[in-house]
Structure 1
């Protein structure tokens, strides 16, 4: 079971040489979807990549994450984060569009790429496009491709600017995704702070990494409020209790780690804050309806 798909492996898989974007500025490249010779019969994997990807795709597909599947129909923008494992299943034989890949280093001078909402969760990562929007993004990808093939001395700076334009344009189409709560309602502010603390602990990237906050009392202490106050605020804004929200997020990360790493169940349990592996197994069975080992052996969730 692989843990990371490296850039060199990606290029080998599509029978290409990594000829672009390796000039000490990180890596950047663009392809036409129809030129990528990737077999549709390739078995499902949930390996993490070491590069980001933005795709403009036209055609019927399914994107399988460890904990959910998202169907893509028509024309869509799809943003993939290297730390969120996925497998792309092509339904239609004919697919068209563009794929842009780049490393975190390429984008670093513009800040943390991981902080952009479209890269933070599968729910915000797939944006269905109206016909008038397709032309706008197609033109932007074509402009980036033409610039990449040109000889302008500062083309990579220009490409970063166009990539940033693409990210912000896309995020404006889903303003609810990942936006901070700015209202005066105290429950909303508490919910936003809780969500930030919860997400800050993920993804778990090392087998010796352990989350610190995995109980309502720990979050309440960090937020300097009573646990009953925290629970009331979350129940009011989300309809779920603090324990439910924590459990759902830990279960989601557990599924990702079981699918994308070769860590033992004990190592995963420890990383998720369970001191006893049997407690983790019981927790996971209640959340997923099967044991961690049984889930790891399934092809697709």
Structure 2
């Protein structure tokens, strides 16, 4: 898997220049027209994790490789990417049009304590929202407003740009049923949020020497300073799944990503995911995925 891509990497590889304000205390934000960065001569960035957030509006035929999944796009779509999950956007033809904006955690934190409060940025959340032609128009207008505002000399333009980002977020959330939205309403949901954040800090695995340390309910309960039974009840209430099931799902997701996007052997991947023996990893993978690691790699 390619190394973490920084903001500096993005600008140097994709845009071929570095802005002066990357280290601003207010956080970084920028917006671009997608049309300027597609085509035969465009620089294609590899499947990797980035250290910034990205929202993309795209129209055309493409594939969105996100975590261990590939999502086909055949029309209009709004894509959300966060620093915790590796991804790659693969255009399938030159007829791509749209916009994208990038921003840092600091940019969001002026009005949001934790980006995991937003469902599309939460691990396991919905990263892609399809748009009808009717829904496309107001989203395009928001990006156009961003494009105009960032070039203005308005003293509070970054506050306004942040509002446009949140308007994009809420536009997307309205496209899914209200029952799927996350509501930070009680202690159980707060514990679930903290558990998810702690789990995701261990991923993605980027070098063969990196290893997952927290792999069971007791370890997570200890770090969160709650009784393991309390943790299990909270996660069951919020997600419908046990702590063990959630950990296993995340390990399986990472295993798929490593098998598909690295040349590491199964023993190396087994070690990274915290299994004492490759045979234990093979048994885990077969039980959870219904196939072997080698079969996934040869697909």
Q: What secondary structure sits across from 1:76 in the alignment?
A: strand
Aligned partner of 1:254 in structure 2 is: 255
Distance 1:243 1:64 in 2: 26
- Asked if 1:202 corresponds to 2:200, the answer is yes
Q: RMSD over aligned Cα, in angstroms?
A: 4.0
Aligned partner of 1:138 in structure 2 is: 140
For structure 1, the 5+ residue unaligned runs are: 184-188
Distance 1:90 1:17 in 2: 23
The equivalences for 1:214-233 within 5 A come to 214=217, 222-224=228-230
Q: What secondary structure sits across from 2:150 in the alignment?
A: helix
| Superposed displacement of residue 199, structure 1 | 2.8
Structure 1 residues 3 and 39, CA gap change in structure 2 (3 angstroms) = farther
Q: Which has the higher contact order (CA 8 A, sep 6+)?
A: 1
Q: How many residues align?
A: 285
Q: Kindly provide the CA deviation profile for residues 173-202 of structure 1, in whole angstroms up to 9, marking residues without a partner as x.
A: 22344423979xxxxx98x68965763412
Aligned partner of 1:22 in structure 2 is: 22
Residue pair 1:20, 1:28 contacting (<8 A) in 2 also: no
> Structure 1-normalised TM-score?
0.75
Distance 1:198 1:113 in 2: 14
Q: Kindly provide the CA deviation profile for residues 20-66 of structure 1, in whole angstroms up to 9, marking residues without a partner as x.
A: 75361322111111001465998894311111100111112111234
Q: After alignment, is 5-14 or 37-46 more displaced?
A: 37-46
Q: After alignment, is 138-147 or 111-120 more displaced?
A: 111-120
Aligned partner of 2:95 in structure 1 is: 94
Residue pair 2:51, 2:83 contacting (<8 A) in 1 also: yes
Aligned partner of 1:154 in structure 2 is: 156
Residue pair 2:217, 2:243 contacting (<8 A) in 1 also: no
For structure 2, the 5+ residue unaligned runs are: none
Aligned partner of 1:13 in structure 2 is: 13
Structure 1 residues 202 and 244, CA gap change in structure 2 (3 angstroms) = same
